[in-house]
Structure 1
């Protein structure tokens, strides 16, 4: 039996879940415009453990969403996960953010394209088969009329970019699942359990989030 604490903070959704043998038994999350991760994360961790009737000592591993996504959100989640792993002497598992987002989709055919907003018409995206296999690795790309035109099968788009992408992605086989907006720790349970069974963990001391793009600092024009 394994208990894994899953942390997802790559987007506006601050999400914490506990999974038992890959099945999520508790999930606490909230998506707010103001990115309340710093205030909410540790509260959600403690409340999730309490709801599950567990203590920190019952945890076998901690999984964290590795990115891409918000620089600040990723740093908060990874810092919390690394600190807990170090204190508890348990392994750290990194879960692909876009894979967790795509895992919310259940379809029998076609491909799933999870997208996370990277401002303007740029997105972080990947392509998965209906059964969850990676068909195209994660990349940052600018969406235009030519994006994904080579795919003739049904394409299911999920994430927080649907509204802005609908204006240019108009091919008849493109389908937007607007109800799926943010990745959640709820879907990380099975993914992290699979990695735990294979001892697919990361170094607590040296692990860094998958930012994909360099962090850019801008100065005020005032």
Structure 2
């Protein structure tokens, strides 16, 4: 029997759940189109613990969505998870964000392609079968008319996530099915984190870092131009 706190902050959806043996006891999430994780994450954790009448000492592990996703969002979620693990001596479990997102739908045939927005026409994506087994590694890729042509030639492909929305006009194959309104959520994390806990598949809290996939690039400030310079 395991009580696990699940934290998902990889996208604009700030989501926290508390689960016992993979079943949700309490969940709270906010997706208001902004990255408000820094303001709401810790209050959400306090709220669901109170709702479930569970103390931090009664938690058996903390699970966090490890990415890919928003650099800032991932840092906030991972920092919170590591802080809790350090403070209360709990194991840390990490979950692939795209696999968690794939688990948001259930299909009888075809492939599932979770997509996260990586700005412009680029997305983070992976390919899963109907049993959520990964068939292609996670990639950062620019979407064009030929994207996923091999998968689409074999049958239905279900695209979901905030990266899928911008691909509708580019991927027009009749086998492409777009599932709206799906974001990575702590709801899907519950069963996945429980399975990892049973296998003792945990991270080294001191050294664990999010999976960014791409390096963070800071845009330098523009320098003022001295018009009097000769």
Q: Please provide the CA RMSD for this pair.
A: 1.0
In structure 2, the partner of 1:169 is 171
Tell me which residue corresponds to 1:133. 133
Could you say which structure has the larger radius of gyration? 2
Contact 2:22 2:194 in 1 (8 A): yes
What corresponds to 2:13 in structure 1?
A: 13
How far off its partner does 1:21 sit?
0.2
Counterparts of 1:188-207 in structure 2, within 5 Å, are: 188-207=189-208
1:158 alignment counterpart: 160
Report SS of the residue matched to 1:109.
coil
Please give the secondary structure, in 1, of the residue aligned with 2:149: coil
SS in 2 for 1:93: strand
The secondary structure found in structure 1 opposite 2:85 is helix
User: What is the CA deviation profile of residues 118-159 of structure 1, one whole-angstrom value per residue up to 9, with x for unaligned ones?
Assistant: 000000000000111011111100111111100122100000
Structure-to-structure mapping, 1:94-105, within 5 angstroms: 94-105=94-105
**What does residue 227 of structure 2 align with?**
none
Instruction: Specify every segment of 5 or more residues in structure 2 that has no aligned partner in the other structure, as ranges.
Output: 224-230
| Equivalent runs, 1:69-148 vs 2, <5 Å | 69-148=69-148
After TM superposition, the structure 1 = structure 2 runs for residues 183-222 of structure 1, keeping only pairs within 5 Å, are: 183-221=184-222
Distance 1:205 1:211 in 2: 18
What is the aligned partner in structure 2 of residue 31 from structure 1? 31
Q: 2: CA distance between counterparts of 1:42 and 1:163?
A: 30
Q: Distance in 2 between matches of 1:104 and 1:221?
A: 43
Shift of 1:220: 4.0
Structure 1 portions without partners, runs of 5+: none
Once residues 24 and 120 of structure 1 are traced to their aligned partners in structure 2, the CA distance between those partners, rounded to angstroms, is: 36
Residues 63-106 of structure 1, C-alpha deviation per residue, up to 9 Å, x if partnerless?
Answer: 00000000000000000000100111110000000011110011
- Paired with 2:220 and 2:32, the residues of 1 have a C-alpha distance of 25
Write the distance in 2 (CA, Å) between the matches of 1:119 and 1:167.
16
User: TM-score w.r.t. structure 2 length?
Assistant: 0.94
Cα distance in structure 1, aligned partners of 2:202 and 2:217:
29
Q: Distance in 2 between matches of 1:51 and 1:131?
A: 33
User: Alignment length, in residue pairs?
Assistant: 221
Quick check: 38-47 or 160-169, which moved more?
Answer: 160-169
Indicate conservation of the 8 Å contact 2:116/2:164, yes or no. Answer: no
For residue 219 of structure 1, report the CA deviation from its aligned partner.
2.5
